[in-house]
A and B are shown apart, each in its own frame.
Chain A
Amino acid sequence: MPSIKLNRKNLKNNLTAYAFCLPWLIGFICFTLFPIAFMFATSLTNRKLNGKSSFVGLSNYSAMFKSENFWNSCKVTIFFTIVMMAVTTVWAVIMAMLLNRKQKFNGIFQFFYFIPSVVPTISLAYAFRTIFGKDAGLLNYIISAFSGKNSSINWMYDPHTVYLVVFFVTLFTYNTGQMMLVFRSSLNDVPRELYEACDMDGAGAFRKFATVTLPMISPIVLFNAVTGCISALNGSFALLYPLTGENGDPNGMTQVLSLLIYKEAFSNMKVGYASALSVVLFFIACLFGIIIFAFSKKTVYYEN
């Protein structure tokens, strides 16, 4: 009799737990699993934005692999993801370390460093587009005023400067600001006695960073690298679309896959083809995740 009571209680507990999980599970099935399955299925059709659709097998994939735009976008996506992830992570660590120093008005500095991160990316990109203009850009105006010569650098249309501008702008996105806050809290958790031991051994600032700080915050570096990578792959659209347009000007140099997917789905109305591109983006994201976790096994330090 007591065992039946116990089983009932266990069952009730389990059902309660499942009931609590249910809202998430329903959300996951409806808004994640189903769209992914639908994307795979649609990639095998010639579905247009107006809903017209018929099964075409792998012809979207064969057209995609023959397209120069696709290969260019893959190269740009991989390059953009790696550099953006590195630039934003390093910048966030630097800012967090600067803000972690004991100084007056730290809160005010943090506020000003973080404020661009809460500006909508679209507005931020548009503002930077104006700043980096050629004939009417603010930056060229300032350079001209200081140099006394007419500066007409075509910042965003010159192949030599476009990446500089784009990666500079990424420093002001929400992702970087969020990373900075996470790093800052993790830096506070590094045991002080380790730094005191370093001081006793006469270690310099760089040595302390390389042998104490970095290993101790490495799990957070991994976390931020993964979120930064996913953000670069999926979230780059919001930054690049207003900054360089759906064609990734100049000459497709900034046309990441998310821009190409948008262009094919909403400008050319080819939803089936865009879904095939999305499948590729999905696998690239998986690949980046696998590589980062494989790399982290050797480099990330966990105390326990």
Chain B
Amino acid sequence: MKSKKIFALILFTSLTGGMLSGCGKANGEKSNASSGTSQKVTIAVWNEPNSNEELNMYAQCEKKTGIDVEVTVIPESDYSSKLNQMVSTGDDSTDIYVVWENDIANFAHEKGIIALDDYLSKSSIKTNDFIYAVEKLSSGLGGTYGLPWCAATELLYYNQDMFDAAGIEYPDNNWSYSDFKAAAQKLTKKASDGSTEIYGCTLPNTQTWWAGIGGAGDQVYDPSTGKLVIGDGAVSFVSDCLDMVKSGIMPAPSSDTSDLFAAGKAAMSWQGSWNIGTYGSKLPFNWDIASIPTNKIKYNTIHTGFYTINAKSKNKDNAFKVIEYLMSEEGQTINSKASGNPSAIKSIADKGAWKVESATTVENWSAITDSLAAGVFGYTCLPSGVTNNAVSEFNSALLGQKTPQQAVENALNYANETIG
């Protein structure tokens, strides 16, 4: 009995001691951080840092600034919601958030991130040299709350071998939407039983549906009201896709997880510019890029994230030093080489570090600068639930479960119900 009591006492003491020492460590960290002497900066991102140290901008930043940069990778599917939760709980474990377009205004409004104007006034970052869309988004916030980590765009990818075989000229950046539709029809190959062997183009993905709708004349996103604005343009584009699905030029929505373009089962595809790096020299055919074909207007959506400083950070000065490096020519060049995305700073982007070396068949690099010039912040500023719901509605129309008009109307009703 006595030995049991002694054992219980030892256990209790060690558990309590463990707990206290844990608390003690946390307090120690806190006091160290609050004194401003901490040389560690934590940054939240959704993509893994490059495994090649030369192309790892955070590792290079550590070397240049002497600040220890700890990268917290949050999966892309949960990224926005996790950041929202961190801001709502006043979490101070992360100093730098890379915030998406749809969150930056809310975070600024809720004072979850700080205005960087004071820091920028003493910095060498060229804020007057951003691409137009970034400049426009920042100007609506009443201060500079974030600096764009890069600028990605949307492009037409095409299989040159299939174009050669069909005797069709390669697309250029001035291709019209009707040129695209005519080529898609010619490039489609049918089997003897009428089923499609090679599709003229893939189905638009969650990003490029909006390029088609915007190109057909809809505003997509109204920054003054924060609402989804679709109508005749969306009906027209969904109807076009429906016709292409019916005639086997475009695949119907399905649970297929494979990339039909990369698999050589589709001649063209509208996708994000970040796929250039993914494809590189891996595809078993020659391929190139062009701007998204111009319908009523030239339209595509710009994708980025903004380096922001957590208002609760106890290490703001060092956080800005890290951002300053990442926005510098060296930081931006490393980022471009690693991701294939151009810098949102025009003078840096013009130097072309984003031309992915492994994409040896790509010649029309001007497609990227051309797309960036025409790019806008569109659907990415809306809640993802609204835009994903709309894509599901459009897919239902392509499957013949409702008319394009009904699909667009439902998407709009849900958006209004959600955004208010």
- A residues with CB within 8 A of B: 48-52, 63, 67, 69, 126, 129-130, 132-137, 149-150, 152, 154-159, 243, 245-247, 249-252, 263-270
CB-CB < 8 A to A158: which residues of B?
A: 399
Please classify how large the interface on chain B is, using the bins under 10, 10 to 19, 20 to 34, 35 or more.
35 or more
Contact of A247 among B106, B389, B399 (CB under 8 A): B389
Assess whether B254 is in contact with A157, with CB atoms less than 8 Å apart: yes
The distance in angstroms between the C-alpha atoms of A266 and B386, with both chains bound, is 11
Assess whether A133 is in contact with B257, with CB atoms less than 8 Å apart: yes
Can you give 17 A-B contacts (C-beta < 8 A)? A51-B110, A133-B255, A135-B258, A135-B260, A136-B260, A149-B193, A156-B255, A246-B385, A246-B388, A247-B389, A250-B396, A251-B399, A263-B388, A263-B389, A266-B78, A267-B384, A268-B418
- B residues with CB within 8 A of A: 78, 81, 84-85, 87-89, 106-107, 110, 112, 191, 193, 195, 251-258, 260, 263, 265, 383-386, 388-389, 392, 395-396, 399, 401-402, 414, 417-418
Q: Smallest CB-CB separation from A255: which chain B residue? A: B392
Assess whether B399 is in contact with A50, with CB atoms less than 8 Å apart: no
With A52-B110, A136-B260, A250-B396 given, is the CB distance from A152 to B383 under 8 Å? Answer: no
The distance in angstroms between the C-alpha atoms of A294 and B89, with both chains bound, is 44
The distance in angstroms between the C-alpha atoms of A126 and B256, with both chains bound, is 10
CB-CB < 8 A to A155: which residues of B?
A: 255
With A51-B88, A251-B402, A270-B418 given, is the CB distance from A245 to B392 under 8 Å? Answer: yes
Assess whether B414 is in contact with A137, with CB atoms less than 8 Å apart: no
With A135-B251, A150-B193 given, is the CB distance from A269 to B84 under 8 Å? Answer: yes
CB-CB < 8 A to A268: which residues of B?
A: 383-386, 418
- Minimum distance in angstroms from B353 CB to a CB of chain A: 34
Assess whether B253 is in contact with A49, with CB atoms less than 8 Å apart: no
- Minimum distance in angstroms from A96 CB to a CB of chain B: 31
Assess whether A159 is in contact with B401, with CB atoms less than 8 Å apart: yes
Q: A268-B386, A269-B383 are in contact. List 17 more A-B contacts (CB 8 A).
A: A49-B81, A49-B85, A50-B88, A130-B255, A130-B256, A130-B257, A133-B257, A134-B251, A134-B256, A136-B263, A149-B193, A150-B193, A247-B388, A249-B396, A267-B81, A267-B385, A268-B384
Assess whether A269 is in contact with B81, with CB atoms less than 8 Å apart: yes
CB-CB < 8 A to A126: which residues of B?
A: 257
CB-CB < 8 A to B401: which residues of A?
A: 159, 250-251
The distance in angstroms between the C-alpha atoms of A264 and B265, with both chains bound, is 36
- Minimum distance in angstroms from B35 CB to a CB of chain A: 28
CB-CB < 8 A to B386: which residues of A?
A: 267-268
Assess whether B81 is in contact with A266, with CB atoms less than 8 Å apart: yes
Contact of B258 among A49, A52, A133, A266 (CB under 8 A): A133
With A150-B195, A157-B255 given, is the CB distance from A245 to B388 under 8 Å? Answer: yes
Q: Smallest CB-CB separation from B414: which chain A residue? A: A69
The distance in angstroms between the C-alpha atoms of A52 and B78, with both chains bound, is 19
With A63-B417, A133-B255 given, is the CB distance from A250 to B385 under 8 Å? Answer: no
Assess whether A150 is in contact with B191, with CB atoms less than 8 Å apart: yes
The distance in angstroms between the C-alpha atoms of A149 and B192, with both chains bound, is 11
With A50-B106, A149-B193, A266-B81 given, is the CB distance from A136 to B256 under 8 Å? Answer: yes
The distance in angstroms between the C-alpha atoms of A116 and B180, with both chains bound, is 46
